[in-house]
């Protein structure tokens, strides 16, 4: 957590903290090679694991020295809970957590060492990346954050210095040290995060959600495209006031060659009200993918890992192979609709069916809402199975992304794929009947 003084931020990593670590040579079984850097939550060292013979990053943290012993124990309990949660995030775009422990009255966590540079190096004038490269990086970060969110973890400190670019070009999200488990919302108090990238709800010390990380990533997108912060200020208080009250300078004022679509994407990510932002990183990535296709001279979408990875992560398709999902995508339609739009109407004749990839939708009979459809669920399958007109209306409650599959496609598919679909339809029907 960053503690805020009258005119500046005061880091818990103070002079005494550094003095207490001045003679450090080992932490647990790890050999300390050199200091890599320090931030608001601790000091990071390059270390060596002699057992496995590999380099690691070692982050050492402790609460403010003036915190009473009871709160110190609470800090440690919280630290290890979050280290355990971060350790479960096995994803190619998230730095792996290996170990955690105690060193004197410090807590430490050892992580995968990324030999490369932080994205912050490319967020300043004279060092900006190409538009296509910048968008591709944020697209990749969306994938990593989306995975973390699905595992029930909110990062809370997404910023350029916590996004690493390895020498081979791989993108890695690091520092889940102040991440929050969604089921533990009430446990954190005070301002947590980095002021220039905090969401309005973080500034107001309100509960956070996936959309809080999306706001922070919107700030990162703004900065990597323009070289300027979305919410600059002379001190933390002026920055936080702008986050809650002001709109950032349009990106095309700073960099005229940027396409208008990127400004629209940033505006949505930076909406003051969480409900008006992208509701998932998948939503965010979908629009970035559209923008990337239109960037003149930009990377082709086949240079980005295919949307197949996203589709396969949706619960409906968890039993499908990547090849099967790719085949379905080649003959179906992924589309996005705005909140409030009718997707299918009662009485309509159509035997296509849909899988909700992102967002929420409601099922209505007349004026009455009878059910909610969540991410990964299907609807419209009864018209396909029965050959009857639509029995209800489905309306998008938030901005949504759908996969529309035609009956003709399914009828022509291999029997193994048809059986998978029928099994999912049966499970969906059982779940819905169990609610009545």
Give me the CATH topology for the region 3-112: Phosphorylase Kinase; domain 1 (3.30.200)
Residue-level pLDDT at 15:
76
Weakest-pLDDT range from 42-51, 180-189, 259-268, 367-376: 180-189
Domain with CATH 2.60.120.10 in the chain: 316-434
Considering the segment(s) 316-434 as one domain, its CATH architecture is Sandwich (2.60)
How far apart are alpha carbons 374 and 371 in whole angstroms?
10
pLDDT bin (cut points 50, 70, 90) of residue 47 is very high
Report the pLDDT averaged over residues 407-413: 81
Q: pLDDT at residue 18 above 50?
A: yes
Whether the predicted pLDDT of 338 surpasses 90: no
Q: Looking at the predicted structure, is the pLDDT value of residue 120 above 80?
A: yes
pLDDT in tens, 384-400: 887 788 889 999 998 88
pLDDT tens profile 217-229: 999 999 999 999 9
Annotation marks residue 350 as catalytic: no
Angle at 333 between CA 331 and CA 338, to 5 degrees: 175
Query: Which residues of the chain form CATH 3.30.200.20?
Result: 3-112
Yes or no: say if 375 and 431 are a contact pair by the CB < 8 Å rule.
no
Range from 29-43, 211-225, 341-355 that averages highest in pLDDT: 211-225
More confident residue, 86 or 104: 104
pLDDT of residue 418: 87
CATH superfamily of domain region 116-303 = Transferase(Phosphotransferase) domain 1 (1.10.510.10)
**pTM score of the predicted model:** 0.78
- pLDDT number for residue 188: 52
At residue 7, the pLDDT reads 38
Pair of tokens at residue 399: 């901005």
Q: Which of 145, 197, 162, 129 is nearest to 44 (CA)?
A: 162
Which among 7, 23, 146, 157 is annotated as catalytic? 157
Neighbours of 18 (CB within 10 A): 12
Mean pLDDT, all residues of the chain: 84
Residues of the chain with CATH 1.10.510.10: 116-303
């Amino acid at each position: 957590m960053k503690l805020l003084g009258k005119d500046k931020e005061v880091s818990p990593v103070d002079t005494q903290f550094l003095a207490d670590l001045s003679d450090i040579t080992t932490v647990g079984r790890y050999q300390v090679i050199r200091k890599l850097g320090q931030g608001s939550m601790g000091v990071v060292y390059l270390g060596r694991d002699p057992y496995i013979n590999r380099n690691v990053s070692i982050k050492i943290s402790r609460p403010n020295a003036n915190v009473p012993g009871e709160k110190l124990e609470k800090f440690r309990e919280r630290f290890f809970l979050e280290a355990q949660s971060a350790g479960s995030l096995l994803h190619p775009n998230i730095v792996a957590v290996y170990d955690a422990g105690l060193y004197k009255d410090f807590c430490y966590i050892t992580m995968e060492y990324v030999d490369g540079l932080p994205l912050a190096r490319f967020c300043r004038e004279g060092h900006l990346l190409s538009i296509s490269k910048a968008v591709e990086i944020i697209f990749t970060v969306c994938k990593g954050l989306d995975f973390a969110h699905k595992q029930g973890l909110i990062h809370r400190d997404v910023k350029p210095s916590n996004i690493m670019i390895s020498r081979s070009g791989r993108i890695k999200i690091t520092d889940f040290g102040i991440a929050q488990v969604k089921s533990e919302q009430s446990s954190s108090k005070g301002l947590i995060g980095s002021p220039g990238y905090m969401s309005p709800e973080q500034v107001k010390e309100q509960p956070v959600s996936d959309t809080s990380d999306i706001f922070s990533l919107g700030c990162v997108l703004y900065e990597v495209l323009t070289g300027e912060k979305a919410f600059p200020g002379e001190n933390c208080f002026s920055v936080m006031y702008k986050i809650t009250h002001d709109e950032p300078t349009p990106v095309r004022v700073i960099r005229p060659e940027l396409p208008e679509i990127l400004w629209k994407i940033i505006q949505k990510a930076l909406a003051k009200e969480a409900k008006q932002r992208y509701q998932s990183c998948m939503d965010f990535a979908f629009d970035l993918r559209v923008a990337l296709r239109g960037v003149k001279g930009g990377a082709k979408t086949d240079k980005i890992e295919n949307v197949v990875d996203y589709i396969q992560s949706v619960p409906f398709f968890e039993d499908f192979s990547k090849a099967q999902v790719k085949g379905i995508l080649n003959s179906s339609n992924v589309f996005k609709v705005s909140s409030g739009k009718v997707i299918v109407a009662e009485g309509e004749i159509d035997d296509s069916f849909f899988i909700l990839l992102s967002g929420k939708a409601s099922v209505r009979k007349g004026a009455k809402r009878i059910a909610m459809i969540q991410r990964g669920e299907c609807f419209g399958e009864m018209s396909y199975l029965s050959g009857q007109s639509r029995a209800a209306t489905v309306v998008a409650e938030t901005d949504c992304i759908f996969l529309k599959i035609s009956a003709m496609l399914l009828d022509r598919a291999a029997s193994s794929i048809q059986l998978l679909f029928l099994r999912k339809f049966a499970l969906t029907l059982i779940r819905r009947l169990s609610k009545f």
